[in-house]
Copies of this chain bind each other. A is one copy, B any other.
Amino acid sequence: MVSKNQIKLITSLQHKKYRNEHQLFIAEGVKVIQELLQSNIVLEHLFETESIFESVLPSQKTLIKEVDMKRISVLTSPSSCLAIFKIPKAKIIEDKGLIVVLDDIRDPGNLGTIIRLCDWFGVKQLVCSKETVDVYNPKVIQATMGSITRVNLVYLDIQDFIAQTSLPVFGTFMDGKNIYKEVLPTEGVLIFGNEANGISTSVEKIIKNRIAIPRFGDIQQTESLNVATATAICLSEFRRNF
């Protein structure tokens, strides 16, 4: 069974303040927990409604009832497992390869999808502005499907980061150069902006390479692409000639 203190701890971890205080986060679902267990991320405790992860030491897991799982889960349809993990220490960003930078992404689903895309396209480093949604938000962890274990994600002042990188810096803008016609480098920094406002003005000023995904529909249409789909298209373009 789950103690009152455990319930209190687990539900508190839905909030960034308490995740930071305890340096813990929660993950739910077989797939995500499996990927985290196979990574360097350290398990604090596992709760299961049936025995799934036999490799986990008995002292580190508790078999609970479905009714208790419902009390600790953040999901509307709880899975058979929920685990608490220690937040790993961020590694220093190395000035090499393709690096994705997110300027104030607010939607947990978008951040999760972008982490999966980085993983798919072999992007090992992801820099987020300090206003970007917390990667240890349960919704982000669910959306990453375990990809977070293969991408080093760091929260930094992105103006400082761009100022000190020796790599070419790219940003997507409506008036940028046609990405399909540019010769894209194998290494570089690729910046994506906030869902509603795009890349912030202060960051835009220091971006040297302005690129755009051309629109093929009617001229009257004014809508932009969702940031996760724009990231998919840009990463595909940077990688397709490898």
**Footprint of B on A, CB under 8 Å?**
109, 113, 116-117, 119-122, 145-147, 150, 180, 213, 215-218, 221, 223, 225-226, 228-230, 232-233, 236-237, 239-242
Bound CA–CA A230/B122 (angstroms): 16
In the complex, chain B residues whose CB is within 8 Å of the CB of A145 = 223
Nearest opposing residue in chain B for A218, CB measure: B150
Residue of B120, B217, B233, B241 touching A215 (CB-CB under 8 A) = B120
Q: Is the CB of B117 within 8 A of A221?
A: no
Nearest opposing residue in chain B for A124, CB measure: B217
- 19 A-B pairs besides A119-B223, A147-B223, A233-B233 with CB distance below 8 A are A116-B223, A116-B226, A117-B225, A120-B216, A120-B221, A121-B216, A121-B217, A122-B216, A150-B217, A150-B218, A150-B221, A226-B228, A228-B228, A228-B229, A229-B232, A232-B232, A232-B233, A233-B236, A236-B237
Interface core residue of A119, A146, A236 (most chain B CB under 10 Å): A236
Q: Is the CB of B232 within 8 A of A122?
A: no
